[in-house]
Amino acid sequence: MKPLIQTVTLLTFIIFKCHAQGNINSKLWYKKPAKQWEEALPIGNGALAAMIFGGIETEQIQFNEETLWTGEPRSYAHKGASAHLSEIRRLLNEGKQKEAEALANEQFMSQPMRQMAYQAFGDVYLDFPEHGTPVAYHRELDLETATVKSTYEAGGVRYTREAFASYPAKAIYYHITSSQKGKLNFAVRMDAIHAKKEVKINGNEIELSVQVDKGALNGIARVKVITDGELKQAEGKLTISNATRATLVLAAATNYLDYKTVSGDPATKTAGILQKAPAFETARPVHITDYQKLHNRFNLVFSNSKHSALPTDERLSRFKGDPNDPALLALYVKFARYLLIASSRAGSHPANLQGKWNHKLNPSWDSKYTVNINTEMNYWPAEMTNLSECHEPLFQMVREVSQTGAEVAKEHYNAKGWVLHHNTDVWRGAAPINASNHGIWVTGGAWLSLHLWEHYRFTQDKAFLQNTAYPLMKGAAAFFLDFLVKDPKTGMLISSPSNSPENGGLVAGPTMDHQIIRALFKACIETAGILKTDAAFAEQLAQTSKQIAPNHVGRYGQLQEWMTDIDDTTSHHRHVSHLWGVYPGEEITPTATLDLLKAAMKSLNYRGDDGTGWSLAWKINYWARFLDGEHAYTMIRKLFNPVYDAGQKMSGGGSYPNLFDAHPPFQIDGNFGGAAGILETLVQSHLEEINILPALPKALPDGRVSGLCARGGFEMDMNWAKGKLTGLTIHSKAGNICKLRYGSKVVSIPTAKGKTYRFGPDLTILK
């Protein structure tokens, strides 16, 4: 070997061995503890979530339990609101927007006007007073095992701390070891930022109880300490001395049972969890097996660069000047899958605006469920990245809001079916909140219902379509049959009153609503056909759909956001709702409706490339659907690069050091939407065909993906090199015809259920 090559090889070895410690493409890692919350590393099992700081003298485990919210069970419907509906519509028709908004604010809004807030639960602190300034500090989140680890040496002793949130054990584990016998000395305490709180110590257990300030919910969290050292109680804490190992097991619960019931017993529940909790040595492999059942189904590899071996925060800062770190994008996608598994498991609530990670009592937008984009975006990667089960909590929420939303449909619109406006909370509020100019937006339930349809399209699970999806979709559609109203100017059916999310105030007939309603009707019609049911209802939907106001191209060549051509081409508003029909909708396409697609591109160019986190993420998906990989990559770069104001405070979208997406502050939707957007450049399957590498950015010339799902019940493995497909395998889960497109080449093959097919780079089928 030549000396230079030898040195480089040795250096690479040292870098990878000493710093990365394992597979660098599946780790977020750092050389220092987290100073701020947005540097800490998240763990979660769906219901419980925690941020691990990795502090040396003081470790902080800030934790949440998903049902701790302010408020109490109640109906938010405004009784008798429907008496004012026709007057609001009349005012809008006469161009009296302010009067319509004022009347609606008075007579038409949720009672109370605001929904409730998700709450931080508490903190576990570990004090290691002797550990001072250690050497060889390393902190990581390993996406292959869903564990957070920190290691360092102090006083010649190596300390290792490992944390994970176990779904099977319903508990968080935190395990500490010292490399030398009996060298582990530390104290454990609990605290919370709630005004009403109490800490008790009993044997080897600390109990924290909290009561939310405004509302019916209280919670109990317990930490049990198991150690080979000496355990003592001392003023509000447990001290552990002369130990070699110690395990903390954390359980938390509240008295919330469901959106109508708060008679749960968190004391008994948490005691039961801790009593059953297996020892760390047993719990760890069970946790990893459980996690890997979901994690291992999918992998994504983009090429490494010289930055790939750096700590994640350094990699992120370098990406700004030199965005040549394709592997960082793959890590981002895998991190999004990790976050979904950690915040949305069967039986849990869906991921809210912060997933489940919140350290405040007054988080931004209450960390609720905003459904005019944010909640849906959380689930964009679910089906595609083979995490169908993690979609289930969203379906359960749809079931519940269909119940509360039926009352709102009746009281506010005198309509059948159900409706959800732009937000919901743990109490499943469905009425319009905050202010009429953006709160009255009627297509939240319709959009969410389409997630059930998408689940069917990916899985081809007919029992799910029949028993779960269709009844909810049908109820959402039935609402619009009553609600849609004739526009006196055009004679078309329009959605009124509503708004184009958060832009332009209360109006008659925002474009987005019409796109969503048409998509919902189309899904219901197709479903009725598949299930051989409801022919008359399907016919009624088909007739009604034809009368809904179509998309319009306006005077600037833009896609009109409203019925009237009043778009402001200088507006850089973060919402670009009227392009819903491009993504996630599919009525505006490069093939069938090129004129509308061009108009949509114009609209997006007018809006510009900047935005908050989720807005950037949506734009990645839009550019991918426009088949413009380079513009998609421009947006991807922005998703990674934090924007700071003069005071060095984050002021625009971008990623925090722990790869959490910034609105700012942290909002999780951009993590999920960004991951979906990166994948949308690799495969698209919404137009009855699988389009291979439809918008591959030049910056991602080489890669491979496995376990990527496509509509029609297909699962794919794919490789590409120098920007060209090199191999493709398709597994057929349902035996449908598989139509593939790669550039101008199109092939269609019948498949058999359960069979796998291999294709060459030109789509010829290989034996």
Q: Which residues bind ligand FUC (CB under 6 A)?
A: 353, 365, 370, 374, 502, 574-575, 612, 614, 663, 667
What residues does 234 pair with on adjacent strands? 237
- The nearer residue to ligand FUC, 663 or 733, going by C-beta atoms, is 663
- The nearer residue to ligand FUC, 224 or 574, going by C-beta atoms, is 574
- The nearer residue to ligand FUC, 374 or 684, going by C-beta atoms, is 374
Number of H helices, E strands in the chain: 20, 34
CB atoms within 10 A of CB 627: 15
| Minimum distance of ligand FUC from residue 365's CB (angstroms) | 4
DSSP 8-state secondary structure symbol assigned to residue 168: T
| Minimum distance of ligand FUC from residue 501's CB (angstroms) | 7
Helix orientation angle between 535-547 and 470-483, rounded to the nearest 10 degrees:
50
- The nearer residue to ligand FUC, 25 or 358, going by C-beta atoms, is 358
| Minimum distance of ligand FUC from residue 373's CB (angstroms) | 6
CA 235, 236, 237 angle in degrees (round to 5)?
A: 95
Where b means 16+ CB within 10 Å and e means fewer, 372-397 reads bbbbbbbbbbbbbbbbbebbbbbbbb
Nearest CA to 397 among 340, 357, 348?
348
| Minimum distance of ligand FUC from residue 667's CB (angstroms) | 6
| Minimum distance of ligand FUC from residue 403's CB (angstroms) | 24
Q: Which residues contact 372 (CB under 8 A, 6 or more apart)?
A: 422, 423, 441, 444, 501, 502, 575, 577
| Minimum distance of ligand FUC from residue 619's CB (angstroms) | 14
- The nearer residue to ligand FUC, 311 or 355, going by C-beta atoms, is 355
Question: Are 221 and 205 spatial neighbours (Cβ–Cβ below 8 Å)?
Answer: no
Q: How far apart, in whole angstroms, are the C-alpha atoms of residue 174 and residue 592? A: 55
| Minimum distance of ligand FUC from residue 175's CB (angstroms) | 36
Q: How far apart, in whole angstroms, are the C-alpha atoms of residue 264 and residue 170? A: 16
Q: How far apart, in whole angstroms, are the C-alpha atoms of residue 325 and residue 303? A: 8
Annotate 372-428 with DSSP letters as a single string.
TTHHHHHTHHHHHTT-HHHHHHHHHHHHHHHHHHHHHHHHHH--SS----SEE-TT-
Q: How far apart, in whole angstroms, are the C-alpha atoms of residue 115 and residue 439? A: 11
Q: Would strands 135-142 and 27-30 be described as parallel, antiparallel, or unpaired?
A: antiparallel
| Minimum distance of ligand FUC from residue 601's CB (angstroms) | 22
Dihedral over Cα of 466, 468, 472, 477: its sign: negative
Token digits of residue 402: 């269909």
- The nearer residue to ligand FUC, 290 or 502, going by C-beta atoms, is 502
| Minimum distance of ligand FUC from residue 615's CB (angstroms) | 7
Residue 606: C-alpha distances to residues 488, 573, 602, 603 (Å): 30, 10, 6, 5
| Minimum distance of ligand FUC from residue 367's CB (angstroms) | 9
- The nearer residue to ligand FUC, 357 or 614, going by C-beta atoms, is 614
- The nearer residue to ligand FUC, 434 or 560, going by C-beta atoms, is 434
- The nearer residue to ligand FUC, 374 or 551, going by C-beta atoms, is 374
- The nearer residue to ligand FUC, 75 or 500, going by C-beta atoms, is 500
Q: How far apart, in whole angstroms, are the C-alpha atoms of residue 327 and residue 319? A: 11
- The nearer residue to ligand FUC, 254 or 498, going by C-beta atoms, is 498
- The nearer residue to ligand FUC, 26 or 500, going by C-beta atoms, is 500
| Minimum distance of ligand FUC from residue 374's CB (angstroms) | 5
Q: How far apart, in whole angstroms, are the C-alpha atoms of residue 709 and residue 330? A: 16
| Minimum distance of ligand FUC from residue 684's CB (angstroms) | 26
DSSP 8-state secondary structure symbol assigned to residue 559: B
- The nearer residue to ligand FUC, 26 or 119, going by C-beta atoms, is 119
| Minimum distance of ligand FUC from residue 605's CB (angstroms) | 21
Residue 671: C-alpha distances to residues 280, 335, 618, 707 (Å): 31, 8, 11, 20
- The nearer residue to ligand FUC, 392 or 502, going by C-beta atoms, is 502
Question: Mapped to the 3 state alphabet, what secondary structure does 459-499 carry?
Answer: HCCHHHHHHHHHHHHHHHHHHHHHHCEECCCCCCEECCCEE
Total residue count of the chain as it appears in this document: 767
| Minimum distance of ligand FUC from residue 149's CB (angstroms) | 33
Token digits of residue 627: 């088949």
- The nearer residue to ligand FUC, 343 or 370, going by C-beta atoms, is 370
Nearest CA to 601 among 578, 633, 574, 585?
578
| Minimum distance of ligand FUC from residue 287's CB (angstroms) | 32
Q: Residue 132, Cα to own-chain centre: how many angstroms?
A: 38
What residues does 199 pair with on adjacent strands? 208
DSSP 8-state secondary structure symbol assigned to residue 16: I
With tokens 């949308």, the residue in question is 680
